[in-house]
Amino acid sequence: MRGPHNIWRLIRTGATFERSGAMGVALDAVEAPPRVRMAARVLGWPFRWLGYKGDPNLPPVTRAITALGPAYIKFGQILSTRADVVGTELADQLRMLQDKLPPFPTETARRIIQTELHQPVEAIFAEFSEPVAAASIAQVHRARLHATDQDVAVKILRPDIEAAFRRDIDAFHLAASLIERLSPASRRLRPRDVVNHFESVVTGELDLRLEAASASEFFENTKDDPGLDLPLPDWQLSSRRVLISDWAEGIPLGDRDAIVAAGHDTVDLGRRVIQMFLQHALRDGFFHADMHHGNLKVAANGDLIVYDFGIMGEIDEYTRRVYAEILMGFIQRDYRRVARVHFEAGYVPRDRDEAAFARALRAVGEPIFGANASKISMASLLSYLFEVTERFGMQTRTELILLQRTMVVVEGVARSLDPQLNIWESARPVVTDYIRDNLGPRAIANDAKRIAQTISRYAPLLPEVVEQALWDRAHRAEIEAEKAAPRKRMPTWVAGTLFALIGLSLGLAIG
């Protein structure tokens, strides 16, 4: 319930930000207006002593968020990709948040497994390790199945995590509503939509059956892609709070030294990471939206291994075409094309000057393309693009949040493998192929075919639809005629008098 009881949660949040020294940093980063600053101080300063101390070795905002717990950590991770909301400097600080928390006891994990799978751990596993990873929502154990002698990953939700997240999300909703009321200018950034997006992401992560379904769908889309591997879920040994899947054996992509020592080509790996993400986003419209180092490995044979499908992104076909045209426009430095796509998609209001918008986009692109390969950054482009679109009245596109966020994260992963990676040259073949297949003559033919198929599917209903439409039109005409009739009809006494006079005249004429 998003009511007054959440004020206490906001007070505790404000107090923690004050105590850690994060309040001023956060308010400056988002350029908060005076009324928002005053409200934040009222919720924080008088109650400073109630705030959590946090780890003094961390930067202020990161220190406050980690002290407040899992929901705040997860929210901070998502905000770390929204430089348009929190500013570039704070976004960089938030990227320091690690998805690592103290694990809950292994005995608790065993009890959860027995409750969820209706069998004791010893009946399912020949071996069951201590936690090998602990995140804000779940932790992972390595185990070996009795039945197949296969190594598996056992992911288990934290105890009572659902209730804890519900409480904190309610407080986030209240905070977003207060911000929009106190600062109408903030509505362009859609604080409530950002919280709604966060809630939908977390809701999906709190049901591990949905993660298993995502892994299954992702596999179906990519099973023919060379050089890609992913662990599959065991549907018979999984539930809402427990997920058992293949163990992914490989070198984490964050360990560049080990990758080089194993003889893998880091330049090729960096390029493949970029191309893999774009191919899934553009071709399939369904992509892994949490592609940080911790969810990527390289196998002994050089295959990229992707795992942890708790956060997935999905974009419709029309949006994919728009996104591809924008990317291709920047790749070709055709700023008129990029501007036109923004206007045609309705991203920028029609009353703005398209030529002026194209020049503003040129100011975004040219400094980036004029730099050497190591300076060509998708993150910088998005940051500058947000500034330009704000000036031209473009609202935050919530359907692109995950896409933008993942692109920035993927770029960071690719550059850690190859600091000289040219992002745009790596993206060009994927974007070019997509545009050829989806925006050229072949795409027009495919669209026409789909339209014909849709019409033919509804053909048996067309006579009834046409008949109903004609009947509705005739019925409306009758109603309108009835409404108009009284205005044309003579009063009764006038008509009676007229008929009497006519009758009298006829009588006199006959007589």
| Catalytic residue IDs | 290
| DSSP, res 114 | H
Cα distance between residue 289 and residue 244, in whole Å: 21
β-pair type (304-306, 228-229): parallel
Whole-number Å distance between alpha carbons of 273 and 277? 6
The Cα 70–Cα 26 span in angstroms is 19
Kindly calculate the radius of gyration of the chain based on its CA atoms and give it in whole angstroms: 31
- The full DSSP string for 188-209 is GG-HHHHHHHHHHHHHHHT-HH
Sequence-ordered list of residues with C-beta below 8 angstroms from that of 99, at least 6 positions apart, any chain? 73, 77, 135, 136, 292, 294
The runs of H, that is alpha helices, within 345-461 are: 354-369, 378-391, 401-417, 423-438, 441-457
Separation in Å, CA 385 to CA 236, 242, 319, 340, 390:
47, 41, 17, 15, 8
Regarding beta strands 151-157 and 242-246, do their DSSP bridges make them parallel or antiparallel, or are they unpaired?
antiparallel
Q: For 45-82, where are the alpha helices, taking DSSP H only?
A: 60-68, 70-79
Would strands 138-145 and 151-157 be described as parallel, antiparallel, or unpaired? Answer: antiparallel
408-424 exposure pattern, b = at least 16 Cβ within 10 A, e = fewer: bbbbbbbbbbbeebebb
Is 58 in a helix, a strand, or coil? coil
C-alpha distance from residue 25 to each of 33, 37, 91, 221, 364 (Å): 14, 11, 12, 43, 27
Going by C-alpha positions, the residue among 328, 330, 394 that lies closest to residue 362 is 330
Interatomic CA distance for residues 439 and 461, integer angstroms? 32
Tell me phi and psi for residue 226, to 5 degrees: -70, 150
- Indicate the SS3 state at residue 156: strand
- What is the chain's length? 511
Neighbours of 387 (CB within 10 A): 13
